[in-house]
Structure 1
């Protein structure tokens, strides 16, 4: 593990003719976070220190030997606690994706480059970064330089860049080792001078006393010479000599239960990590099923919304347009929701790592590891391997029990005709419909928003270009005797009857349960009739919440996403009212090949 020895003044530039991925500055791909809604930019111009000593952060590096088993991933997450861990030899192969995001346990996320296969077809190598939930929120970019080098940048005071590498062994081809260190050197040179830089990994190197006063090895091998040259040229310090921000750097045996024959190296760094921008309040999920089942709550909800809506209207006298009036209805609904509707219960996923069976097996692994460290005999080594196998069996038994429990829940949901719950469990068990994880381009929050806006604006289409607005339109069918007066209560009930409860609300946060269960019909009809008779439509109806859904391909490009638009439920009700008036007259004149546009008609 190496860290910056001092602040550099000038960031070296890279030869622009390079054909590798390094031709693009790795700090020019600051990207949108793969999870959550878009955050607003951090306000203010408060000056931050270069290394602000606010809190300590733990970073580690570990050669896992393999990380393909589910139980190894959960064991690693349980042991990691609050670490950022650079991983080598995870042996997870995904050649079609240079970077893959794995959502693991307890909020941890693994970002990995693909391993490769040797001549025998066995998986070899692969590097990655395991991040805790807090570190995941601060990540700005992550790029794969080669399958052996991955680079991630985190927001903070200052920004933190972590490069994880898995170097060729000392007996590998000399040219291969030199090319790897050349790419690693170029990666380091692209990091801005004000970033706090850490290079960690399995260097397969030995640095002797000819270079350092208190080395672990007596002599320096070939890879050690390359590592020493790299550190000197880039003003890095190998972490055996701790300076500046590195408070402690030691090796530990606490990760023995992961199954690796390597020890973890952990450094305590005093840095200040923060999210890139002010974090908005988390969206609260409410249990709307309670409102649907309680008639007294429905009446109380309607009364309170009416009272608050009336008071807000009285305060805003003079602003009688539809947008201002509807803006009084939105906070009235939100305030009553916060007061009366209970929050949805959190889904607590049981952690296998904390199960008593795995804890007992893990303690036995540590005892066997300590015994093997002191004795170093074939018997102690066999006993250690047997304890590791028992830990794996404990994980398998617990996972088998969880699977059987989910299967019984599927059968019970099917018997109760809860088909959605059944399919949700089936998809969870089988891993189907698991959304891919990705990041979008952009150096700042505003640039990322602009990238999304530009892509979806082109995707959803532009307004048509009309050359002659005064050109008469030829009438194809006769005029229909269609109602154009105000909507009545009967029409409103027919329109809300087909709205499905449980659907997501639009930007106004008014849910289907409010329209169907609460006596607010006259208020909703007022807005619909204002739009129909006078053309005064609330502007809030035109606001759409765009939810990007990743497809295949490079997820840093906007074209590899499709979009779901969440519009206002009240606006959908207005559209349904219009459709119910038009459909009886329009359906008879539609051609047979347009049956797909008609209700209850199909292709012959």
Structure 2
């Protein structure tokens, strides 16, 4: 998810697999690649983990070498609280495990640093995952960045109070980067052509204005210039006479009752059993509301289809012969 301001700098995204996705943002002095990952859990064997890092290597190789690269997500690994060269800082959590050693080795090969181990924080601002029953709290989610850009990271910590419906806490990093907003193509105003078809007076008025402007053209005017004048005449006549197409309201299926339940879930953050119960209820309500919204959209499409078929049938009831007599009744 991107904020609206950051979305203005979005150049594109690339789903690599069900575990890796790449986003490119326009920024100065170089573009920024954000790579979101989800590494295999401890239930998977080492061959799957190695395949994951190989795929991640191929992804990095296909990106511009000059770009700023931020790799973040759930690595299902513990790098520990001991400093390891310039890769891992001394403000991690716990002890390094085997998967953590694999992650550190991969970071060293690609000259990356684990950003959220370099900032001193309270332990509750370090752990990113809580086990079922709150038996363990580990740091397994990380933000990685190239060592040459490590000073661009101003802070990194977890947000234990965030209500995101997950047993993970989001890791928040402040990164100094100058994003460039991409120029969007100029939005063309849409006219309500249905009003033009339904209102004969409006249609005649529009036709007369365009005709008058066109007839005022001199024969000596160059063809290219004639086209520009005709185009401007049509647009001006349309602006003055044809009503604009109203903006479509994007109907959202999220109801107020769902928002209320989400507020309750947020307050129940410290009670895992109640939190889980409310979370399940929210998911159920979301599924029902979404299905109801989709059914409403389908009904609206079906009604439009029936209306179009009815109009088409009315127009094709009779086919005249050449002399004006009715030839075929449909």
Question: Which of 65, 71, 74 is the equivalent residue of 1:202?
Answer: 74
Please state whether the residue corresponding to 2:27 is helix, strand or coil.
coil
Query: Which residue does 1:358 correspond to in 2?
Result: 258
How far did 1:275 drift?
A: 5.9
Query: 1:405–1:226: structure 2 CA closer, same or farther, 3 Å change rule?
Result: closer
Structure 1: 5+ residue runs without aligned partners?
1-79, 84-131, 373-380, 423-496, 499-583, 585-599
Alignment partners' CA distance in 2, 1:390 and 1:215: 38
- Aligned pair in 2 of structure 1 residues 319, 244: CA closer, same or farther (>3 Å)? same
- What residue is the counterpart of 1:6 in the other structure? none
Local SS of the residue matching 1:250: strand
SS in 2 for 1:382: helix
Are 2:213 and 1:301 aligned? no
Deviations 1:161-183 (A, max 9, x none): 12222223346433433343344
Indicate whether 1:348 and 2:249 are aligned: yes
Give the CA deviation at 1:387: 1.0
1:201-280 superposed matches below 5 A:
201-211=73-83, 212-240=88-116, 241=118, 243-253=150-160, 256-258=163-165, 260-274=166-180, 278-280=183-185
How big is the shift at 1:134?
5.9
Q: How does 1:400-415 map to 2 (within 5 A)?
A: 401-402=292-293, 405=296
Structure 1 residues 148 and 257: alpha-carbon distance in aligned structure 2, compared to 1, 3 A threshold: closer
What is the distance in 2 between the residues matched to 1:297 and 1:421? 25
- 1:151 equivalent in structure 2: 22
| SS of equivalent to 2:237 | helix
Q: CA RMSD in A?
A: 3.6
Shift of 1:220: 1.0
Deviations 1:268-312 (A, max 9, x none): 334344466x4220122111122223333223323332343345x
Secondary structure of 1:224's match? helix
The structure 1 residue matched to 2:238, chosen from 337, 341, 356, is: 337
Contact 1:170 1:204 in 2 (8 A): yes
What is the Cα deviation at residue 344 of structure 1? 0.8
- Retained in 2: the 8 A contact 1:181–1:226? no
Relative distance call for 1:236 and 1:419 in structure 2 (3 A) is: same
TM-score normalised by the chain length of structure 1 = 0.41
**SS of the counterpart of 1:352?**
coil
| Alignment deviations for residues 360-404 of structure 1 (CA, whole Å, 9 cap, x no partner) | 1101111122x32xxxxxxxx332222113213432443455466
Find the counterpart in structure 1 of residue 220 from structure 2. Answer: 318
Number of equivalences? 279
Shift in Å, 1:245: 2.5
Q: 1:174 to 1:397 in 2, by over 3 A?
A: closer
* Distance in structure 1 (CA, Å) of the matches to 2:290 and 2:15: 33
1:386 lines up with 2:277 in the alignment = yes
What secondary structure does 1:279 align onto? coil
* Structure 2 runs not aligned, ≥5 long: 120-149, 317-321, 323-327
Task: Choose from 279, 286, 301 the match for 2:191.
Answer: 286
Q: Does 1:328 align with 2:199?
A: no
Deviation at 1:318, TM superposition (A): 2.4
Query: Counterparts of 1:480-491 in structure 2 under 5 Å?
Result: none
Structure 2 CA distance, aligned partners of 1:302 and 1:319?
22
Deviation at 1:351, TM superposition (A): 2.0
- Name the structure, 1 or 2, with higher relative contact order (CA <8 Å, separation 6+): 1
Deviations 1:430-454 (A, max 9, x none): xxxxxxxxxxxxxxxxxxxxxxxxx
Question: CA offset at residue 200 of structure 1?
Answer: 1.2
How many angstroms apart in 2 are the aligned matches of 1:198 and 1:382?
Answer: 35
Distance in 2 separating the partners of 1:231 and 1:352:
42
Separation (CA, whole Å) in 2 of partners of 1:269 and 1:185: 23
